[in-house]
Amino acid sequence: MDRRLRQRYRQMNPLARLGIAAGAFAVVAGAVVWVGNPNLESQGSGPATTGWTAPTEPGTTTTAAPPPPGFPTMDFPPPMSKAPEGQPQPVPTKFGLTYSVPSSEHWQATNDAVLGWSDPDGSSIATYGAGSRYRHTYCPDVKGAALARVGVTGRNAVDIDTAAREEVAKAERIFSDKSGRKPQVELRGPVSFEVSARPAVRYTAVLTDIPKETSCDPDQAHFDIVATSGYASAEVVLLMVEQHRGLPDALPDDDVEAIIASLRKTE
């Protein structure tokens, strides 16, 4: 889990990477690196349904399909604005959608970080932008450990249901350990609803008997994926909410539901 959690820069030319390295700040060395965004100024689950077989994941070396010709794109998300006191913190993304997380000292809300997981051999499992973290300092033994994470990614040339099923199937690899031990996984969904009057679908991976390598690793977790249409940068947008369960101060289920319900078109 956290031992393989990684942060990486978006692909860009060497000069841009050099500028980021000089200007970004490291929250946790080797685990969290904030990606420079020229738009930013300085900043003061439901019951199980009919089961299905998890699809084979696309190979990690497969080139991602580009958006169709003429589809709007954004290199970076819009700047974040501080939420009014007591209101959830909006996190706008480069896909024309915004999610919100609770306004709390325990949340590190940002749309300028990239997070993801990789296999022990270094091959990528999943990568998400606009990453926010909950209680990211709860474990002194593991740099970058967090009790919950939220992020987004995009897909093209695929329908929302296929994109969501393929993404949620990655949970087994994310929560496996270096020796190849795997957790028990129950896949729930699909749950259909709407995001800003557009169709959306949600799948949840319920993980138990997670292999533990440190005292901070959870025994159980939920890995939620919501897929809906994008307004920019990708035809399909995937919202990921990872929630460690059974640990002190774990993110309440109501907060997970509120985050998912908050997904909306950016105004």
Question: What CATH number does domain 2-37+87-265 carry, 3.30.470.10, 3.40.1000.10, 2.40.128.50, 3.40.50.1000?
Answer: 3.40.1000.10
DSSP secondary structure, 115-169, as one string: EEEE-TTS-EEEEEEEEEEESTTS-TTSTT--SEEEEEEEE-SS-HHHHHHHHHT
> Phi, psi at residue 108, to the nearest 5°?
-110, 90
pTM (predicted TM-score): 0.80
Domain ranges of the chain: 2-37+87-265
In percent, the amount of the chain with pLDDT more than 90 equals 70
pLDDT grade for 267, boundaries at 50, 70 and 90: very high
Residue 245 token pair: 């369960």
* Whole-number pLDDT of residue 91: 99
Burial (Cβ within 10 Å: 0-12, 13-18, ≥19) of residue 17: middle
**What are the two backbone dihedrals, phi and then psi, of residue 219, each rounded to the nearest 5 degrees?**
-80, -25
Q: Each residue of 219-230: pLDDT tens digit?
A: 999 999 999 999
Taking only the tens place, the pLDDT of each residue in 4-32 is: 555 443 333 322 222 222 233 222 222 33
